[in-house]
Amino acid sequence: MATNPSYGRRAFLKDSVLSTVKAAQELVKEADGLPVKASAPPVRTDWLRPPGAVEEQLFLERCTGCHDCITACPPGAIVAHPSDGTPILFADQSPCLLCEDVPCIVACGTDALRPVAGIDQVRMGMAVVSHQLCTAGQGCHACVSKCPTDALRTDLASLRLTVSQETCVGCGMCELVCKTVNDHVAIRVAPSRQRMKQESGSR
């Protein structure tokens, strides 16, 4: 490997000293109990909007970040987005329980969340199955039995899990159940806002 002629012994010693000083400073911080600066974890993008959410761009225009829907959510499934404070849900942490009286929608005063005719009309996302990871063929049907809208079933001919696009509301219950009973999560909920964006981009 060719050596950079401009990088001499003096520069090497300077860089070495700087590295040593930086390491020493970090050790002092740790010894003094001060937090050592670490890189922030990446913000997840697989979050869902609450029930009744309007199209994403319109949602961002209407939502004021008041957190009334977050406060109204009985199981505490709705949380604030770490970047902009808007309401979101993480299916694998706390899915939507599809409360019959949808208190989150009732609490929204800006029409960012619009009333729905019934729970079966909610469209937060769509469950997507990874058949390579799914153990339905080995007899697992935990997500099927827990699906609140009967959108999941095991096809007996292929022994594969199927999702009904007509009845799946994207609540995320299946994802949480799969995470709980299996080593690998085989079913994920694709957020509606991402699917809408892809469909509009393909036109």
Query: For 115-145, what is each residue's pLDDT tens digit?
Result: 999 999 999 999 999 999 999 999 999 999 9
Whether 183 contacts 135, CB under 8 Å: no
Please give the pLDDT value at position 97: 96
pLDDT band, residue 35 (cuts 50/70/90): low
CATH of domain 56-201: 3.30.70.20
- N-to-C CA span, the chain: 52
pTM for this entry: 0.73
User: How far apart are the C-alpha atoms of 144 and 174, rounded to whole Å?
Assistant: 8
H or E segment to which residue 189 belongs? strand 187-191
Domain ranges of the chain: 56-201
pLDDT band, residue 56 (cuts 50/70/90): very high
Half-sphere exposure of 87 (CA within 13 A, CB side): 30
Whether 106 contacts 97, CB under 8 Å: no
Please give the pLDDT value at position 8: 56
Long-range contacts of 67-72 (CB under 8 A, 24+ apart): 68/107, 68/108, 68/109, 69/104, 69/105, 69/107, 69/108, 69/113, 71/107, 72/103, 72/104, 72/106, 72/107
Amino acid identity, position 24: A
Q: Judge whether residue 17 has pLDDT over 50.
A: no
pLDDT band, residue 44 (cuts 50/70/90): confident
Lowest mean pLDDT among 131-135, 169-173, 194-198: 194-198
Read out DSSP for 47-66?
Answer: -BPPTTB--HHHHHHH----
**Residue 80 main-chain phi, psi, to 5 deg:** -90, 135
Q: Judge whether residue 55 has pLDDT over 50.
A: yes
Alpha-carbon torsion (132, 135, 137, 142), positive or negative: negative
